[in-house]
Structure 1
Amino acid sequence: MLGFVCTGLGIAGIVLPGLPGTVFLLVAVWAFSRSSERFHLWLYEHPRFGRTVRDWHAHRVIPVRAKIAAVLAMSATVAALVLVHGNDWRWPAVTAGLLAVVAAWIVTRPSRAADLASPGA
C-alpha cells in the first residue's frame, strides 16, 4: 500500500509545484522492492521516472531540478508556518532548523554521476 500511495504522490509531485515527487518515487521503489517485483521493475525501468531512480540507486545522485524543487518546497513550508503562527515563532523556528539540515544534506549530494569522479566529490 505504501508503494502505491508514494507512487501517486510522486507522480503528483512531477506536476504540482512544491511537492517533491522524487522523494516519494524513491520510497515507492523501496517499498515495492520488498513487496512486488513487478511494480518495482515498472518504476525502475519507467521512461519518465526510471532514470532518476536508477541514478539514486547506483550513485546516490540527486538532479539539480530536484534539489531546487525540494529547497523551494521547504522554504515555502517555513513561510506558510510564519504566516499561520503569526507571533508564535517557536514552530516556524524549529521547522526551519530541521528543514535547513535536510536541505543541506540534499544540496551536498552529487548532481550527476560524473561529479563522483571529480576530486573532492
Structure 2
Amino acid sequence: MRKAAARLLWRTLAVLSVALAVIGAVLPVMPTVPFLILAAWAGGKGWPALEAWLLDHAHFGPHIRHWRERGAVPRRAKWLATLMMTSSAVMMQFTPLPLAVRIGVPAVMAAVAIWLWRRPEA
C-alpha cells in the first residue's frame, strides 16, 4: 500500500512537471527544460517508462542527459535566462511593490545568474 502511494506521488509530480514544461514551451516567461529535468527525476522514482521517453526525446533528451552527467547548461540557455531575469528586474522597478521586494527579488535573480554562469556548458 505504501509503495503504491509513493509511486502515485512520484507519477503525479512527473505529470505536473511535464504539464508545466508544456506551458513553458508556449509562454516565454516560463522555462521548459528545468521542469523536464524534474519530470525525468520523478519519473525515475515512480515511472521508468516516462523517464526513458524523456531521456530518448530528440530535442530535450540531450539537455536532460547533460544536466545529469555534468550539471551542464547550454550557453544559449544561460543568455536567455539572464536576459529574462534582467528584463524582469527592470520591469519590477516600475511597479508599486515595496522597496524590499524591488531590491530583494533582483538580488536573488543575480545570485541565480551567477550560479548559472558557473555551471559547465554542454
Taking structure 1 as the reference length, the TM-score comes to 0.80
Match of 2:61 in 1: 50
5+ long unaligned stretches in structure 1: 113-121
Query: Displacement of 1:111 after TM fit?
Result: 1.2
1:108 aligns with 2:118: yes
Superposed counterparts of 1:41-120, under 5 Å: 41-85=52-96, 88-112=98-122
Distance 1:7 1:68 in 2: 23
Query: Displacement of 1:12 after TM fit?
Result: 3.2
SS in 2 for 1:62: coil
Distance 2:40 2:117 in 1: 22
SS in 2 for 1:83: coil
1:85 maps to amino acid: P
Identity among equivalent positions (%) equals: 29
Query: Displacement of 1:22 after TM fit?
Result: 1.6
Equivalent in 26, 44, 51 of residue 40 of structure 1:
51
SS in 1 for 2:95: helix
Query: Displacement of 1:29 after TM fit?
Result: 1.1
1:77 maps to amino acid: S
Distance 2:19 2:87 in 1: 22
5+ long unaligned stretches in structure 2: 1-11
SS in 2 for 1:84: coil
1:68 to 1:18, Cα distance in 2 relative to 1, 3 A: farther
Distance 2:64 2:50 in 1: 13
Query: Displacement of 1:97 after TM fit?
Result: 0.9
1:54 to 1:109, Cα distance in 2 relative to 1, 3 A: same
1:94 maps to amino acid: G
Question: 1:67-112: CA deviations, max 9, x gaps?
Answer: 12221222233233222226x3210110011111111000111112
Distance 2:15 2:22 in 1: 11
Match of 1:115 in 2: none
